[in-house]
Amino acid sequence: MNDQTGKHLAHISTILDSVADGVFTVDESMRITSFNRAAEEITGFSRDEALGQRCCEIFRTDVCFSACPVEEAMKTGQDVTNREVSVLDRRNREIPISVNASALRDADGRPVGGVETFRDLSQLRALTREMEEKYTFHHLVSRNPAMRKLFDILPDVAASDVAVLIQGDSGTGKELFARAIHNLSPRKDKPLVVVNCGALPEPLLEAEIFGAKRGAYTGAVDDRPGRLELAEGGTFFLDEIGDLPLSLQVKLLRVIENLEYQPLGAKRSRKADVRFVAATHRDLEQMVRVGNFRQDLFFRLNVIVLKIPPLSARSEDIPLLLDLALERFNAKYGKKIRGFTSEALSFLLNHAYPGNVRELLNMVERAVILNHDAMIGVKDFPASISRDPSPQLARPDGKRPSRKDLQRILEQYGGNRALAAQTLGVHRTTLWRWMKTTGC
């Protein structure tokens, strides 16, 4: 080796030691030929210990013997990018990393080894958990100010025993609020029993709520406990109470006022020790005005009202919900999808979500099930939805938005410049330049 070559190799080694990502190379037999400083720090093995060793003895990942990224790159000739795996360091601690791998070739193009770069994701994962904990409250997730105010009062609401009415569009998470109230209350060790008032015809719904004695109606061959009895000591949640027939509204009012009820066919009343929580997507005040809902029952339920804003009014929650949904469904279906393409993310951030959070979760779940790539694309969404002309925030002429518009978009995504740039359809450096120019 001449002096010039030696200096060149020394320069390369210095450059590799200066980067934050771990880097190592292997020869054709998968033995390590170089190992930079970041690789030492992440794995806990020194360069002297690593050189000459088989890759799998030092860089111990969960895919070494099933889907080694370097071997894959050498065999297929295709680069491996951003593959998330786990590696065991010298002290056998599991560290999440993101891996890239490429084949090294000689002058004739023949593979003579490989190079792998890897990034420690521990801090990113810790930050993600911290953000989730910051914006998560009893399985409810939001960074929206109106939602955070609801989270703040829930403990006080739960500590009381008064009736609660939860109002919100379908899919906003009304049942999750009901469960949070129950789990925060002194009744948390007793049952939470749910009845959907719109799911059954009136005769069956009455028996479902109040119970029935044998012979009370055709087919009642045994005594049947009602949901009120099953909820004894706990919380009784009446979902979609706006669909409750008027005749049953009278009986429910009696239960709330006197804490007693009478099963179908019974001769005596029973006491009810339950806390009432009701939910609806309907305008009960309007229903009272037109005579479709009893005013006295409305006043009994209207002691504490929680109004859940639709997802369209809290768009800053969409990125958070997308991350949580992808993590949940990756785990559920054994997938390792890393995220969304910029086109898919732009669509998801601008979609109107008439079905609210439920629609968002359904869209991500479907995409995870059908996707066989590393990233979810627009092709993974139903054609009827992906063709929906949702309003775009990007200007069609490519000109800089006003200072007010930029501030609005940045506030919408909690100051996340990457998401704001994707929504505007520009590179982050362009967004930064616009922000600097407008004084954002």
User: Got the DSSP string for 262-322?
Assistant: --BT-SS-EE---EEEEEESS-HHHHHHTTSS-HHHHHHHTTEEEEPPPGGG-GGGHHHHH
Higher-pLDDT residue of 431 and 206 is: 206
Q: CATH 3.30.450.20: which residues of the chain?
A: 3-120
Q: Which CATH superfamily is domain 132-309 in?
A: P-loop containing nucleotide triphosphate hydrolases (3.40.50.300)
pLDDT at 419: 66
Q: Which CATH superfamily is domain 3-120 in?
A: PAS domain (3.30.450.20)
Confidence check: pLDDT of 2 > 70: no
Residues near 384 by beta carbon (within 8 Å), at least 6 away in sequence: none
* Closest CA relative to residue 237, chosen from 181, 276, 185: 276
The amino acid sitting at 252 is: L
pLDDT at 132: 55
Residue pLDDT, tens place only, 367-396: 999 998 889 998 998 876 755 444 444 443
Q: CATH 3.40.50.300: which residues of the chain?
A: 132-309
pLDDT at 24: 95
pLDDT at 343: 86
pLDDT at 409: 74
For residue 226, name the pLDDT band (cuts at 50, 70, 90).
confident
Q: Give the pLDDT mean for 361-368.
A: 93
Residue pLDDT, tens place only, 294-341: 999 999 999 999 999 999 899 889 988 998 899 889 889 988 888 898
Higher-pLDDT residue of 6 and 49 is: 49
For residues 422 and 406, what is the distance between their CA atoms, to the nearest angstrom?
13
CATH topology of domain 313-438: Helicase, Ruva Protein; domain 3 (1.10.8)
For residue 3, name the pLDDT band (cuts at 50, 70, 90).
low
Tokens of 92: 């056998």
For residue 128, name the pLDDT band (cuts at 50, 70, 90).
low
The verdict on pTM exceeding 0.75 is no
Q: What share of the chain is helix, strand, coil (3-state, %, to 5)?
A: 45, 20, 35
Confidence check: pLDDT of 277 > 90: yes
Higher-pLDDT residue of 351 and 278 is: 278
For residue 139, name the pLDDT band (cuts at 50, 70, 90).
confident
Confidence check: pLDDT of 47 > 50: yes
pLDDT at 129: 62
Share of the chain above pLDDT 70, in %: 84
* Closest CA relative to residue 105, chosen from 93, 114, 97, 96: 114
Residue pLDDT, tens place only, 184-198: 999 999 999 999 998
Confidence check: pLDDT of 350 > 70: yes
pLDDT at 393: 44
pLDDT at 399: 57
* Closest CA relative to residue 408, chosen from 284, 310, 315, 283: 315
Q: CATH 1.10.8.60: which residues of the chain?
A: 313-438
pLDDT at 20: 84
Q: Give the pLDDT mean for 395-419.
A: 66
CA–chain centroid gap for 104, Å, is 40
Higher-pLDDT residue of 202 and 165 is: 165
pLDDT at 388: 47
Confidence check: pLDDT of 411 > 90: no
For residues 387 and 240, what is the distance between their CA atoms, to the nearest angstrom?
32
Higher-pLDDT residue of 13 and 20 is: 20
Confidence check: pLDDT of 31 > 90: yes
Residue pLDDT, tens place only, 215-224: 555 555 567 7
For residues 409 and 406, what is the distance between their CA atoms, to the nearest angstrom?
5
Residue pLDDT, tens place only, 75-100: 998 999 888 889 999 989 999 998 99
Q: What mean pLDDT value characterizes the chain?
A: 85
